[in-house]
Amino acid sequence: MGLWGCLASLHATACQGDEIVVDGESWNLLAEPIEMQETLRIALDKFLPEERIWSTSNWDGYVGHWVIRNNRLCLEKITIQLPEADGEKYFTVIYWPETLNMGQIFAPSLRRTEKLF
């Protein structure tokens, strides 16, 4: 197989980040606003079902979907994937912030040097 065979077989798993919609276009967030808020992260860990699909590209098992409201990042929804009974397929479940009884959820303020997307 040699060195080239080994190098050709190496590849990394891409990370699935949160998503932001800007002017109707979807972008991946480089920042992780939910992870920056310990109270929210703990509440999500307790609330979301443990059987949600986790992967090396999504260690949290959820994706936050953000929009800009009043010049701030606001959580629009959280999606997870749950396995179907056959274990081969999955379906997506959407949770709205109201479900968590936390009102509107805004991302913490970011420094100008931090990249969002």
Give residue limits of the domains in the chain: 19-100
Helix (H, G, I), strand (E, B), or coil: what is residue 97?
helix
Structure confidence by residue, pLDDT tens digits, 2-47? 444 434 444 455 567 789 888 888 888 877 888 888 888 888 888 8
Structure confidence by residue, pLDDT tens digits, 88-114? 888 999 999 888 777 888 888 755 445
Record the pTM: 0.73
Residue 72 has pLDDT above 70, yes or no: yes
Average pLDDT, the chain: 79
Query: What pLDDT sits at residue 21?
Result: 87
Spatial strand order of the sheet with 63-69 comes to 25-28, 19-22, 63-69, 72-83, 90-95
- Please state the rounded mean pLDDT for residues 61-76: 90
